[in-house]
Each structure stands twice: as C-alpha cells, then as structure tokens.
Chain A
C-alpha cells in the first residue's frame, strides 16, 4: 500500500487565507466544471485530490455526475492547472481584507481591557499591605507597640488576602473565549466601583494617617482590615452580578437557521443581547447539523424554473408601471397550471428510496469488512497465524472492501465533501481500537452531525456579526429579535419570556382513595 501521496485534502476558498500552512493540493479531472456557483452568492471551489489508484474513493467536487466516472479516478493524479491555485475571486479579496482588519482591531481592544483590569487588580491587592507597612517604614519609632490584638489582626489580614486572591483567580482569570463588540456593562461598573473605593480609602489614609503621622498602630491595622473586608464583599457582589444572576432561566429563546429552517430552543436568564448571542453561538456548534450548501440547490432550481417562464410585455405605452408589472407576473404565475409539486413529490420519494438502498448496501459492506479482523489477546501473540498489525494498518487493510459503498452513500446524501479519505481511515482506526461495532463506526456517516464534528475548513461559519435593533448591551426582553449573520447564512433569534406560573397545592389523604362496584341488578318478580 503506497503511502507516499496519500494527502487527501479538500480545499475551499476559506482555508487558504486563514494563515495556516498551505496544503499541497492537486486537481481532479473535470476542473473546468468546478467554479460553478452553487448557491448563487459565492463560487465554491472544492478541489479534492485522490490518493494512488489502489484505493480510489472520495475527493470529487459536487459537480461530478455519477456512475460512469467512478472507476476513472485512478488516472487523475498530477494535473495542476493554473485556475484554482492562483485565481482569486472578488469575494475572496473582500474576505481577506475584512479578516485582517477585524483581527487586528479587536485584539487591541481586548488586550487593553485586560491590562487595565490586571493593573487595577494588582494595585488593589497591594493596598492593604501598603497601609500596614508604610507606618512601619516611615515613623517606626513613634508607633505604639503592637499588642496581641494587633498581631491577631495581622493573621486575619493575611488569610483574608489569600482568600481574596484565590477567589479572584477562580472568578476572573479565565481564557477569553470570544471577541464581543461592546464592553460588558457589569464588569465595567465593577471596575469603576473598585477604583472609586480604593481611591477614597487612599485619600482618607493619605490625609488622616500619613500627614498627621498617627501613632495608634492598632487603629491603622484595623483600617487595613476593614479595607480587605470591603474588598471581599465587592468580590461577593461580583459573583452575584456576573455569575449568579443569569443562572435562573427567564427567557426561552428560539433560534432558526435561515437557509433550511432548522430550529432549537434554549433557556436563558437575564443576559445582555451580546452575551445571549454568545450562548446561542456556543450551542449552535454543538446542536445544529452542519450547514451543507449542496442541500439547498434543489429548492433554488425549482424557484428559478417557476418564474422563468413568464415575460411581461407592456402594450399600453411607455409608462413604467413596475409594481403593476410584478403584480401581473405574480397573478399569472399563480394561475398557471404548474405541476412542479408533482415533480417534487416523486423526486423526493425516489431520492428516499435510493438513499435507503445505498444505505443497506453500505451497512452490509461494513459489517462484512469488520469480520475480517480480529483483536489479538495478549497470550495469543506468539502463535498469531498472520502478521500482526497496528490499528492504522488494520484499518487500511479492510478499507477497500467498504470504500465504494461508503463513497456512493456519501454522494447520494451529498456529504462527500465533509469526509476525506484520510479522515475516514483515522475514524476507522479509532473505532477498531475502541472495539466499536460496525454500526458505531457508521454513525458518523449515516446522518449529518453537528458542526463541531467536522474539519474547521468545512464549517462555513467562523466570523459572526450581530445585527440588532436594540443596543447590544441592553438586556433581553420579551419580543426582542436579533440576527447572527455569517457569510452564508444567518441565525434568527427570537426571545420569549417564560410565563409566570401559578402553582397551587392540593392535599389528598392517602386514606381517601375508596372505590365501590357499579351495581346493576335485575330482579324478576
């Protein structure tokens, strides 16, 4: 099995500009067909390469038609034409420039915020220590000796500072997981509050203690202790405002994807619109099936055919009655006896049957393939009948028998771009290692999974824009609608309030469950 050029990679317009290492790519046979725009808004360039002829499998672009070209992939190896690698469309240029300027701008803002917060935190943390140490340094001789109470307070300050440190680390020292458009209102408020608080303490300290060189050291230490206490309370306030308040679910949020109508509901608490958008997006990657543009082509072609056959002739003169024309077109289109619903019905039934047939073949092929290998127990290692293989080699050994069936199934369900041969082999090795059954191996291919399951290049959704009529830092209210847009589709989010529930109580004594028979006698007299 030649492993030299088995870099099978699917190349789309996005991955090239993400700054990662350039993948080596070569080209398929029908290159001239590929820059056809699928959904009308971008040209999707999918270049896929094929491994050596020993295992021809995936790596076609969606423009290929079926059966006749299946077996010819072995020949498509080294042709590189100039079009895909070096041609950039207008949209790609726009995308590059947008990526560059966005990444630079937001990083600056984020780091600025982090530095300010860090400096403030350090200052705040060192303040009580400074309060205690400064009298010792500046007018040590004049100070009253520190009694037991005073020394007890030292211990108390030390431990409270330690607790504050641990609490702050737990609450605030986190990797930022998102770039958001505007600053968090509550965090900013807290920072301002802390700053004012510490400033006023320093002011008091400077005027009443430093200037007058107060000798009551115990009083000074108690002053420092009161500062630390107040800081702990501010920390408590931060927990409540930043973490606890949004835990209780108040709103039910419906998220609908604009291209295919897939929808989900989520429960959220009192959040600002931008934080709610963050939550929705985090859940989007896990819950929604991956966006597949090739599934949308059928409805678009139907729509195009529907309006294509009507033309408007203006016989009344040069008056340009645009709305009248369009109304006339709509009315005529509605009246036309259209059999496209028939086509849709039969096409869908046909497709369903084809998918099921291929699925049956695939399941049988995979089950058969899995019977060819067997796990070797430890004690059998010496007397192994054949050569011993590691999981990767075992996967490569059984892969050819199921390759064709899998490829055909993926083509029928239009998922072929999401799975490269390398990824299939890896998954197969993984399943073999973990003793999974054929059905468990197939689970990934039989139905479309969430976006996180696939390679980042196929996501179609990395840069999001929040479109909202209200300010994004305002809180969620009943009836708020905002849209999360990415380049190819958008998520429409509709917020509804969970209704106020009136729950009343009814007590039923367990002894009150009594029954009688229904009597219906008939007596003859």
Chain B
C-alpha cells in the first residue's frame, strides 16, 4: 500500500513594467486576450481550454513589456494587486491602462516556468 503526497507549487513571477509615453498615450507594449466573457477554447496559450484568464498574446519588440521580461503566453494573475483571473476582457484592459499609473506590477504565471521547476525537481 503506497501513499502519495501532493505538493503544490505556484510558479509565478513578478514583472514590473514602466509605461512608455507616446504622444498622448501611455503604452505597455503587449496585447492581451481572454476574459470571462470570451471563448476560452480559442486560446492557443492555455493548457486547460476552460481557463478564462487573461493571457499575453503578443509582445512588441523593444517595448517596455519585453524589456521588463514579459513573454508571450504568460497568464496575468494580478495587476497592481487587482485580481485578473475573473475579469472580463474590457475590465482587464481598463486595469492595465489607468492614466494615472506610470508603473504596473504584474504577477504572471508561465508554463515554461512550471516545466523547468518540475524537471529540476525530478533530476
């Protein structure tokens, strides 16, 4: 009779992005997709196709997001303390593009990060 124990890891990374001013706008340099009002089966980056979280779908080259280390396929869990796992697409956009904020601190999770930690544990 064998016993199993389950260890949960959260593979998360904190990323700090400084917004760039372009004319009248402050841009972050990436695109998001997903939301609770969207269709989760179309998301190419999620492992679980019922995951309605916010994912990074594109990162512009040389932009502030890339400089800060954000990668395509990251799932954004929190923005400046606000939860992003159960928001609509528009709410997510609003939370990222607040005019009075110059810095956004994101909590992201990444599949490659999960796999790297798992591999290092097994070896």
Q: Which residues of A contact B (CB under 8 A)?
A: 518-525
Contact = CB atoms under 8 A, between A and B. Distances in A.
B39 A525 contact: no
Interface in B81-98: 89, 93, 96-97
A26 to B, nearest CB: 83
A522 B58 contact: yes
Given A525-B93, A525-B96, A525-B97, A520 B38 contact: yes
A418 B93 CA distance: 85
Contact of A519 (B31, B39, B58, B96): B39
Given A525-B93, A525-B96, A525-B97, A520 B32 contact: no
Nearest to A517: B39
A524 B26 CA distance: 12
A520 B27 CA distance: 22
Interface of B: 27-28, 30-33, 35, 37-39, 42-43, 57-58, 60, 89, 93, 96-97
B31 A518 contact: no
A524 B57 CA distance: 9
Contacts of B32: 522-525
Q: Is the interface of B mostly helix, strand, loop or mixed?
A: mixed
B88 to A, nearest CB: 10
B44 to A, nearest CB: 10
B14 to A, nearest CB: 18
B1 to A, nearest CB: 44
Given A525-B27, A525-B30, A525-B93, A519 B57 contact: no
B33 A521 contact: yes
Nearest to B104: A525
A521 B89 contact: yes
A503 B102 CA distance: 66
A523 B31 contact: yes
A522 B57 contact: yes
A522 B33 contact: yes
Contacts of B60: 524
Q: Lowest 5 CB-CB distances: which A-B pairs, in order?
A: A524-B31, A518-B39, A520-B42, A525-B96, A522-B33
14 contacts: A519-B37, A519-B39, A519-B89, A520-B42, A522-B33, A522-B57, A522-B58, A523-B32, A523-B33, A523-B93, A524-B31, A525-B28, A525-B32, A525-B93
User: A518, A519, A524: which has the most chain B beta carbons within 10 Å?
Assistant: A524
Given A524-B58, A525-B96, A519 B38 contact: yes
A521 B60 CA distance: 17
A520 B43 CA distance: 8
Contacts of B57: 522
A523 B38 CA distance: 12
Contacts, number: 39
Contacts of A524: 27, 30-32, 58, 60
B39 A522 contact: no
Given A525-B32, A525-B97, 11 more contacts: A518-B39, A519-B39, A520-B39, A520-B42, A521-B33, A521-B38, A523-B32, A524-B60, A525-B30, A525-B31, A525-B93
A350 to B, nearest CB: 55
Contact of A518 (B42, B89, B93): B42
Nearest to A519: B38
A522 B59 CA distance: 12
Contacts of A520: 33, 38-39, 42-43
B108 to A, nearest CB: 14
Contacts of A518: 39, 42
A320 to B, nearest CB: 65
Contacts of A525: 27-28, 30-32, 93, 96-97
A524 B63 CA distance: 12
A521 B93 CA distance: 11
A520 B57 CA distance: 11
A212 B35 CA distance: 104
A518 B35 CA distance: 12
Nearest to A523: B93
A518 B39 CA distance: 6
Contacts of A521: 33, 35, 38, 89
Nearest to A522: B33
A525 B89 CA distance: 12
A51 B23 CA distance: 108
B56 to A, nearest CB: 10
Contacts of B93: 523, 525
A522 B34 CA distance: 8
Nearest to A520: B42
A522 B97 CA distance: 15
Contacts of B33: 520-523
A521 B31 CA distance: 10
A520 B55 CA distance: 12
A353 to B, nearest CB: 53
A521 to B, nearest CB: 5
A149 B42 CA distance: 90
B80 to A, nearest CB: 13
A520 B37 CA distance: 9
Contacts of A522: 31-33, 57-58
B64 to A, nearest CB: 11
Contacts of B31: 522-525
B52 to A, nearest CB: 11
Nearest to B26: A525
A275 B57 CA distance: 76
Contacts of B97: 525
A519 B36 CA distance: 10
A521 B33 CA distance: 6
